[in-house]
Chains A and B, each alone.
Chain A
Amino acid sequence: MFEHLHAGLLAAVSMSNLIALFFGTFVGIVVGILPGLGPMVGMVVLLPFSFAFSPDVALSLLLGVFCGGYFGGAVPAVLLRTPGVPSSLVTSFDGYPLTQKGEAQTALSAALLGSFGGGVISVVILIFLAPALAHVAASFGPPEYFAVAVFGVVLVVMAFREQFARGIMLLGLGFWFSTVGIDGTTLSERFCFGTLSMQNGLDIVPICLGLFGIGQTLILVERDIMKTNDIKLSRSTLDFSAIVKVLKYWKTLIRSGVIGTFVGLLPGTGSILASFLSYDVAKRLSKEKERFGKGTPEGCLASEAGNNAVPAGAMIPLLTLGIPGDALSAVLLGVFTINGIYPGPLLLVKEPVLISTIYISMLLINVVAFLMLIIWLRPFAMIVKVPGKLLAVVIMVISMIGIYAVNTRLFDAGVAIAMGVLGYILLRMGWPVVTLIMGVVLGEIMENRLRETLSLGDGSLGILFQRPICIFLIVLTSLIILIPFVLDIRKNIRNKKLNQF
């Protein structure tokens, strides 16, 4: 293991990897700071460029955006009570009151130290937990993989339980997108509508770029992002003494990092739950409970450690099982598969150096993002002044050219525009677009595993009930679906009875 880590370290500190890592982190912080954009837009815009690089460099670039985005999101949350990324909302509970008291430096120190600590803790957990999980998954056959994929998809759909039917529809639509083109197993044509362009299938890049890149920018065109000149920062860099001051909350930092990692590990849970949960636990266990919500650095630290631990947590099921936990890791899965690398338990055996490079790169990204924000705090904070509409128009052009550049096909750009329209409608109506992306990314995996399982069972899914792991996963999946519905029904009955009285 240590020799692979050493090889990974050497690959991670190569010039090309470091440039990608720096640039990705920089872009991540910028899109994280800008409310309305977020790391997803940054990742999908850089996605076409990533194909020019080797897989490790491409992944460092995109992981930089992924992790950097969470770092950046804390800055406007603390200074303006406007979270750059949704999960930083919790950071604003204590960060903004501290800013109003003239303690913006303390709040930002706590938030950034939390982000850094949470990120590092989660990568360490990833390094030790991923091989253990991969060891268990090594005994999996197609039925187990199919059951795990169903479990992951159900978790994501159930995360949007209030919109269960909509989640199912979008998941189905995503699955359908993945079937368009020539079927890899039988070489049969599917849903090509008589056109040659459709035979290559719908690439994941134009779909992601359209849904999130163009869809989100179309939303930005019609809505005014908050602009302000009121940025209360006493100095242009982060005060080192303020960082030292918040180090006394080290127990909260470790605890929140661990919580964030394990929340990130579960598909569909996401960074918002991680920061809420970390904040809530920190509040319950704190000696200064009454200060929470009124301005305590401990709250900022807990929330940011929780949400910044999510990226590494989400990498655990992605690397070991090939199941992405959210839309961001679904895009990363796309990068793996486009480069001919298929995440799963064998990946850790087949590509140990690549995996170690990812680990080391993630550690470096946390260090780089932390240092960037310490040194260039004011310039980064000033980014919120850039008009969102101007950015939206520029991002649209970059997206269109980027998408064309991947395969030099204008058809892909057309697909991106169509997906942009769909993305705009879905984002404006608040539908769970994540399930659509999950469907697109997992569609091929699910279909292949289903057909392999059916082949093993001579056309019957009964084989799933002959394997202990499958039975366990089926029971777990059923419980995840049934328990919330049963609880809802009980609640409705109780409410009706109360209304009768």
Chain B
Amino acid sequence: MPKKDYYSSRAHDLLGSIFGVFALSMLITSPWQVDTSGPDPFYKGPLIFPLIVFCLMLAGSLPSLWRLFRPSEKSSWYLDGQGKPFKTMVILGLLIIYLAGIIFIGLEVSTWLFLLIALKLVNQDSILKLTLIPVLVTLILFVIFKYFLDIWFPEPLIMEIFLE
């Protein structure tokens, strides 16, 4: 797809409009979200810069808002032909579960599980890769972070349940 067409997709206008609506809502609500009870005059206070910033964002989003509600005849929602990001969303979901997993089953098990499932999902099917890489990476991370850097990781909740 030519560069000009790529950038004229309505998906860009939608994203720009989302930013615009966000900026407008923040602009309206910011006096309540910023503590302005201090003695400083407005120009020295904590609210002036955020207000300028939201006005800037809103101004930048106006062309997108205009195009979203008044689309030209040639405009379409076609973006890049790369399809819907299902696999990416699944990996992203796994990443969130992985974070929760660190709390529930600990760093080592959750890292090993995440790598195993994610590698399988991205078609790294060879048995060698699926067995070696998760174990190796988990081991390296354990050695670097727990052994050398002495970083504290949450005690796995599952262990507490078993110990009780």
Contacts and interface: CB of A to CB of B under 8 A. Distances in A.
Contact of A162 (B7, B15, B26, B53): B7
Interface stretch (B68-76, B107-115, B155-163): B107-115
A428 B82 CA distance: 9
A394 B137 contact: yes
A52 B149 contact: yes
A454 B96 CA distance: 44
Contacts of B48: 450-451, 454
Interface in A408-425: 408, 410, 413-414, 417, 420-421, 424-425
Nearest to B98: A400
Nearest to B40: A186
Contact of A454 (B43, B115, B152): B43
Interface stretch (A133-141, A320-328, A384-392): A384-392
B28 interface: no
A186 B38 contact: yes
Contacts of B124: 387, 389-390, 393
Given A173-B57, A193-B33, A447-B49, A166 B129 contact: no
B44 A169 contact: no
Interface string A162-182: 110111110111011001000
Interface stretch (A24-32, A216-224, A288-296): A216-224
B82 to A, nearest CB: 7
A396 interface: yes
A188 B59 CA distance: 27
Given A221-B122, A389-B124, A165 B63 contact: yes
A186 B46 contact: yes
Main SS of chain A's interface residues? helix
Nearest to B120: A393
Given A171-B56, A389-B124, A451-B48, A397 B137 contact: yes
Contact of B115 (A389, A393, A430): A393
A191 interface: yes
| Residues of B in contact with A, size category | 35 or more
Given A218-B88, A390-B122, A417-B92, A172 B34 contact: no
Contacts of B24: none
Given A186-B40, A390-B124, A222 B49 contact: no
A401 interface: yes
A459 B43 contact: yes
Interface in A133-169: 162-163, 165-169
A190 B35 contact: yes
A118 to B, nearest CB: 29
Q: Which of B37, B38, B46, B115 has the most CB of A within 10 A?
A: B46
Contacts of B59: 168
A393 B122 contact: yes
A398 interface: yes
A430 B7 contact: yes
Nearest to B90: A221
A149 to B, nearest CB: 12
A101 B118 CA distance: 42
B75 to A, nearest CB: 15
B116 to A, nearest CB: 10
Contacts of B40: 186
Interface residues of A, number: 62
B79 interface: yes
A193 B29 CA distance: 11
A163 B61 CA distance: 11
Interface in A455-487: 455, 459
Contact of A397 (B36, B49, B54, B114): B114
B96 A417 contact: yes
Interface string B85-110: 10110011001101100110001000
B141 A190 contact: no
A168 B79 contact: no
A213 to B, nearest CB: 12
Given A176-B26, A188-B37, A405 B145 contact: yes
A393 B56 contact: no
Interface in A11-56: 52
A420 B99 CA distance: 14
B43 A168 contact: no
A165 B103 CA distance: 42
Contact of B57 (A168, A222, A223, A393): A168
Given A165-B64, A188-B34, A401-B141, A218 B92 contact: yes
A432 to B, nearest CB: 11
A405 B151 contact: yes
Nearest to B91: A221
A187 B50 CA distance: 15
B135 interface: no
A389 B123 contact: yes
Given A396-B95, A451-B43, A175 B60 contact: no
Nearest to A452: B44
A187 B45 CA distance: 10
A166 B149 contact: no
Interface of A: 52, 162-163, 165-169, 171-173, 175-176, 179, 183, 185-193, 214, 218, 221-223, 387, 389-390, 392-394, 396-398, 400-401, 404-405, 408, 410, 413-414, 417, 420-421, 424-425, 428-431, 446-447, 450-451, 454-455, 459
25 contacts: A165-B16, A165-B61, A166-B12, A166-B16, A171-B56, A173-B19, A176-B26, A176-B50, A186-B45, A190-B33, A191-B33, A191-B50, A221-B122, A222-B83, A223-B82, A392-B122, A398-B137, A400-B95, A401-B145, A410-B102, A410-B154, A417-B96, A429-B12, A451-B48, A459-B43
Given A176-B53, A387-B124, 12 more contacts: A166-B12, A172-B57, A176-B26, A187-B38, A190-B33, A218-B91, A222-B88, A393-B118, A394-B133, A410-B99, A428-B79, A428-B80
